[in-house]
Amino acid sequence: MSDALIEVRDVSVTFGSGSRAVRAVRQVSLHIEKGEAVGIVGESGSGKSTLARVLAGLQRPNSGEVRFAGESIYQRGKAYRGENRRLVQMVFQDPYGSLNPRITALSAVSEAVRVHGVGSRKDAIAKSLELLGRMGISERDAGKKPRQLSGGQRQRVSVARALSAQPSVLLADEPTSAIDQSAQAQLLNLFRGLLDGGLSIALVSHDLGVIRYLTQRVYVMKDGEFVESGLTVEVFDNPQQEYTKQLIASIPGRELHKALS
Amino acid sequence: MSVNAMASESSDVLVEIRDLVIGIQRTRKDRLLIVESANFDIRRAEILGLVGESGSGKTMVCRSLIGTLKRRSASIFAGTIKFDGMDLAKLEERQWRSVRGSRIGYVPQSALTGANPVMTVGKQLGEAIRRNRKRKEKDVRRRVMELLELVHIRRPEVVYDQYPHQLSGGMRQRVMIAAAITQDPDIVVADEPTTGLDVTVQAEIMKLLKEIRSELKMSVILVSHDLALIDEVCDRLVVMHAGTCVEVGSVSAVARTPLHPYTIALNRSRIDISTPGAPLITIKGNPPAVGEWPAGCRFSDRCDFVQQDCTVGRNPVLVEVRPNHWSACLHAERLGGTSE
């Protein structure tokens, strides 16, 4: 486990204090290896988004440790300093809320490319167009503003922007929940390609289908704790905990197709 | 067989939607069409799924059933919606008041926007009950309790005095379903009722919709972009693409032998029935934007089976390719042949 890219040890997050304290994350430990997709699945209020924010360095845990490439992500009081800030990128649930409505997709990406220091303005634009192209966004669509793009396109722009930093880890918090099924398939194919290219992905989602499709390992979260974890295939085929069984039984639609095939 | 023969053996047909055209009148001469040909029936006590990508027109069709198109500045330009001797497509707002809510109930996508935030659950449901006729206060309360129990709300006497924000998402949606059925409607229209809710809660809400169908004998229209969900809950489904109905049939027939390339493509992109890690087959391109529809079949430039005659002329209409199974694909016969 020493070559884990991200390692979380005994992390707890508590909001508020005294009798009104909410223990959102309780003594949670996990690790993400290079080139691996790890799922964190749970329902609303399970603490999964808080945990995602902890991984991203947006929420400081009350106790426990988050390590990236062997070192604490907090150095001199700040999360992900220097080079590390580039290496860990995040994609959020709502692509509309995370893109500036007044600038085009191309500007949004090329801005990020330049922040992470890639040559001249011209180079940045060429690089951005190439990135957007890989995400299936045409040059014509690259000139559009977020409101002119579909939800799936917006989400792919967000991914392009995250990738412009050439990260080694992508943290994705419910990236597919706001988009149509066919757009979801496009995004998942894209993620799969990135995994093959050596990127690590932490996928936080309440959608078990997405988790089952993309991840190798999964952590099932409930009330701030992991109730079950392991290889995704094993957890789905043979869930040990009552809660996991219940979750899996709630996935719609598989019965009919099982019956037909 | 043409669309008009759709209602052939149909004493159980409740609503007949024919050639419905919905759009927005932008200027006197400029019309933006959103739905150009909606054709399907709603049968008694069935759960009918309405599936399609965003922008396919499914929400507009729902709105035409509850007479709230005007609130989106849209209106019906042509076509009929026959329901109990009326044509809903031609109803005046004044006439809608005796249909909306009492004959056709509505469950909104988000219970937070659908409910009044400053009224308790009991008050809101009570108001819906009193809307059509005067009742004694005591009777109203009894009926509200009855409804809350019907939608399986635990401790209804507590929830009665609570405000919507105090309830969980699943509870709120149950209350909205209770509101939709207060006046014993024939049809309940549920527009993506579980978006944003957890899977376990979604499963409970679906169970509840099934009960409404089988115990109260109401028809339910379930709008969703999730084919897996439609498969699980619905009896029949309508697939919409770019403002048209492209396939109509029973859930099992459509799952076994889809007769439209769009349905085939949707099924292929489903993750719930694909092998983990294997490439998902996506649909080429993006759904055409409203008003930017190609000539001929609107799916033609994304279709894997496209032929020359697909890209010319008018948008093809639904044809009954097999008994009770309609497709708008010009080459549906061949699709049906190959997949069996």
* A12-56 confidence digits (pLDDT tens): 999 988 888 889 999 999 999 999 999 999 988 899 989 999 999
Give the separation between CA A238 and CA A257, rounded to whole angstroms: 20
Average pLDDT, chain B: 89
Q: Kindly list the residues from chain A whose CB atom is less than 8 angstroms away from the CB atom of residue B53.
A: 180-183
Identify the burial level of A44 via C-beta atoms within 10 angstroms of its C-beta, where 0-12 means exposed, 13-18 middle and 19 or more buried. Answer: middle
Cβ within 8 Å, pair B277-A192? yes
Q: Which residues are paired to B23 by β-bridges?
A: B33, B75
Q: How do strand A37-42 and strand A200-205 relate by DSSP bridges?
A: parallel
The overall average pLDDT reported for chain A is 89
Does the structure show a pLDDT above 80 at B233?
A: yes
Q: What is the pLDDT of residues B16-26, one digit of tens each?
A: 999 999 999 98
Cβ(A175)–Cβ(A186) under 8 Å? no
Element (H, E) at A222: strand A217-222
pLDDT above 90: residue B72:
no
Retrieve residue B318's tokens: 């639904």
Q: What per-residue confidence (pLDDT) applies to B1?
A: 44
Alpha-carbon distance of B196 to B216, in angstroms, equals 27
Residues from chain B that touch A255, judged by Cβ atoms under 8 A, are 232
Confidence of residue A261 (pLDDT cuts 50, 70, 90): low
Closest Cα to residue B316, out of B230, B244, B236?
B244
Encoded tokens for A77: 């009081």
B37: tokens are: 């040909």
What average pLDDT score do residues A104-117 get?
Answer: 88
CB of A233 within 8 Å of any CB in chain B? yes
Residue B180 has pLDDT above 50, yes or no: yes
- Spell out the CATH class of A6-260: alpha beta
pLDDT band for position B112 (cuts 50, 70, 90) = low
pLDDT value, residue A50: 92
pLDDT at A137 over 90: no
Residue among B53, B233, B271 whose CB faces A180 most closely: B53
Mean pLDDT, to the nearest integer, of B43-56?
A: 92
How far apart are alpha carbons A256 and B232 in whole angstroms? 7
A247 token code pair: 């979750």
Contact call for residues A207 and A213 (beta carbons, < 8 A): no
The whole-number pLDDT of residue B108 equals: 86
Quick one: tokens of B42?
A: 């709603």
**Residue B22 tokens, joined:** 């919905």
For chain A, positions 90-129, list CB contacts with chain B under 8 A.
none
Q: Name which of A180, A258, A248 is nearest B252 in CA terms.
A: A258
Q: From A167, A157, A176, select the one nearest A55 (Cα to Cα).
A: A167
Average pLDDT over every residue of A118-143: 87
Contact A185/B287, CB-based, under 8 Å? Answer: no
Inter-chain CB proximity A260 and B269 less than 8 Å = no
**Quick check: B214 pLDDT over 90?**
yes
Look at residue B63 and tell me whether its pLDDT is greater than 70. Answer: yes
Q: Specify the pLDDT at position B280.
A: 86
The DSSP bridge partners found for residue A22 are A15
The full set of domains in chain B, from first to last, is 3-103+185-338 (3.40.50.300), 111-184 (no CATH)
Interface probe for B, chosen from A155, A182, A184, A241 (most Cβ of B below 10 Å), is A182
Q: Do B227 and A213 touch (CB under 8 A)?
A: no
A99: three-class secondary structure by DSSP = coil
Query: What chain B residue is nearest to A258 in terms of C-alpha separation?
Result: B273
B54 pLDDT band (50/70/90 cuts)?
Answer: confident
Residues A69-93: pLDDT tens digits?
A: 999 999 988 999 888 888 999 998 8
Chain B residue nearest residue A196, CA to CA: B277
Read off the pLDDT band of B4 (50, 70, 90): very low
> Which own/partner pairs from B167-171 qualify as long-range (CB within 8 Å, at least 24 positions apart)?
B167/B121, B168/B201, B169/A44, B169/B111, B169/B196, B169/B197, B169/B198, B169/B201, B170/B197, B170/B198, B170/B201, B170/B204, B170/B205
Of A151, A186, A252, Cβ closest to residue B228: A252
**What does the pLDDT average to over B140-162?**
93
pLDDT of residue B11: 65
C-alpha to C-alpha distance for B263 and B241, rounded to whole angstroms: 9
Least confident interval from A208-212, A257-261, B50-54: A257-261
pLDDT over threshold 70, residue B275: yes
pLDDT attached to residue A254: 62
The per-residue pLDDT for A172 is: 93
Q: How far apart are CA B188 and CA B190, in angstroms?
A: 6
pLDDT of B339: 43
Please report, for chain A, how many H helices and E strands are present, in that order. 12, 12
The whole-angstrom distance between B198's CA and the closest CA on chain A is: 6
Please tell me the predicted confidence (pLDDT) of residue A258: 64
Looking at A163-172, B169-178, B287-296, B298-307, which range is the least confident one?
A: B287-296
Q: What chain B residue is nearest to A151 in terms of C-alpha separation? A: B54
Per-residue pLDDT at B338: 46
Strand spans (E) along chain B: 13-25, 31-43, 47-51, 75-83, 86-87, 104-107, 187-191, 219-224, 236-241, 244-250, 319-322, 325-327
Beta carbons of A176 and A207 less than 8 angstroms apart: yes
**Residue B289 pLDDT:** 79
The whole-number average pLDDT for the span A172-180 is 84
Decide which of A1 and A52 is more confident. Answer: A52
Range in B155-159, B183-187, B195-199, B316-320 with the lowest mean pLDDT: B195-199
Per-residue pLDDT at B91 exceeds 70:
yes
Nearest to A84 by CA among A160, A28, A165, A29: A165
Say if the Cβ atoms of B200 and A232 lie within 8 Å: no
Alpha-carbon B305 to chain mean position: 28
The arithmetic mean of pLDDT across residues B23-39, rounded, is 91
CA distance B201 to chain A (A): 9
Residue A71 at interface with chain B, using a CB cutoff of 8 Å: no
Helix (H/G/I), strand (E/B), else coil: B4 = helix
CB A256 to CB B251 under 8 A?
A: yes
B174, B151 in Cβ contact below 8 A? yes
Nearest Cα neighbor of B331 from B236, B258, B249 is B258
Residue percentage of chain A with pLDDT more than 90: 55
